[in-house]
Amino acid sequence: MTVAGFSALTIPSELDTIAIDLYNPIENNGLYYLTFTFSLIGEDGGKEVLFATGYVPPGKHIYQVTLSRGLAAGEYKAQLLVQPYRMSDLSPTNNVSAAVALTVI
């Protein structure tokens, strides 16, 4: 399985719709749909989901997402969770979770 991700993201403050490029590589054709969940990580380790996508087919991109809320300027710890689902029966497989340094300007 091929997964695309990133380790840092900069977005404008106070906006709830942002431009982003999330995609399911064509190499997953016939194998996996992907979903993407982006969460803030709190001081206590708790997570606040900022956005979650539906199934993204192989070769397709998501270029815009709507956040659950706009954020004030600052530095945030975040996490991108990429969950693959088998195309044959939509059962989940092993996921990929990556730390993301989120900068809001």
- 59: tokens are 């070769």
- Residue 58 scores a pLDDT above 50: yes
- For residue 34, the one-letter residue type is L
**Which pLDDT score, from 0 to 100, does residue 103 have?**
95
| Residue 1 counted as domain residue | no
Q: What per-residue confidence (pLDDT) applies to 4?
A: 57
pLDDT of residue 40: 97
Q: Evaluate whether residue 3 is within a structural domain.
A: no
Nearest alpha carbon to residue 26 among 61, 55, 53, 62: 61
Whether residue 1 is predicted with pLDDT greater than 60 in this model: the reply is: no
For the chain, how many structural domains are there in total?
A: 1
Check which CATH number belongs to the domain holding 75 and give it.
2.60.40.2550
Residue with tokens 């695309």: 4
Q: Please compute the mean of the pLDDT values over residues 80-96 and round it to a whole number.
A: 96
pTM of the full structure: 0.90
The answer to the question of residue 2 being in a domain is no
Is 79 within a domain? Answer: yes
Domain extent at residue 56: 8-104
pLDDT at site 42: 94
